[in-house]
Amino acid sequence: MKKPVPTTPDDGGPEDHATQPLGSVGQAARLQSVPASLSNSEPAKASSAVRRTFTFTSAVTGEKVTATCMPGCTIDHEADSDTQHPHDIYCHIPGPASELPLFGPLCDTGSPEDFRFLSWQIQSHPFSGRPAERLPFVAIEAIDDHYIEYLDPDTLEMVISRLQQQVNSLREAHVQLVNLRTAYLNPPEVAA
């Protein structure tokens, strides 16, 4: 089970030779890019001082493009250093996954199989043509390969509320089941 690591990986990668549009002041500006005033209200992850950058050659323009990595991203962007379509560039933070044995048309064997459910990840596609994909978003894997994607904070809150309601109703089902079983196994005396 992997947890997102909030620290910036110090792998000495493309960061070292990434070109900065701001020239010599780029490095200093980047190091100070997180205002101190945010540290009280922002999650710890947002306060990592240095954002990892990487460079790739755009398959569209043929030019070198420098991208800034999402803090906590676990992608090894070394693999992106060749020619890439910008739309294929993405950052990714995996969340924990869990499995349940399920039965249904997704099963190949005709008997219950283990499927991932409600696993989540945070992604961003900084060069996506769709604005909703450029900012970090959450994707929930409702069930194996079936996703609720591009969740912004408000939409994620809505999804969490619905899930919470369903979990609460499962608690009610649990109580109901216990009572029904008790009644089933201990039938009341019937007057003759």
Q: Does 73 bind Zn ion (CB under 5 A)?
A: yes
Candidate residues 75, 102, 139, 156; the one interacting with Zn ion per rule CB under 5 A: 75
d(CA 53, CA 77): 9
Candidate residues 30, 53, 69, 126; the one interacting with Zn ion per rule CB under 5 A: 69
d(CA 45, CA 54): 19
| Minimum distance from residue 63 beta carbon to Zn ion (Å) | 20
Comparing CA positions, the residue from 92, 93, 97, 96 lying closest to residue 117 is: 97
Which residues in the 76-135 window bind Zn ion by CB under 5 A? 91
| Minimum distance from residue 40 beta carbon to Zn ion (Å) | 26
| Minimum distance from residue 19 beta carbon to Zn ion (Å) | 18
Reduced to 3 states (helix: H, G, I; strand: E, B; else coil), residue 148 is: strand
Q: Does 67 bind Zn ion (CB under 5 A)?
A: no
Q: Does 151 bind Zn ion (CB under 5 A)?
A: no
d(CA 11, CA 69): 13
Specify the pairing of strand 83-84 against strand 53-58.
parallel
The binding site for Zn ion (CB under 5 A) comprises 69, 73, 75, 91
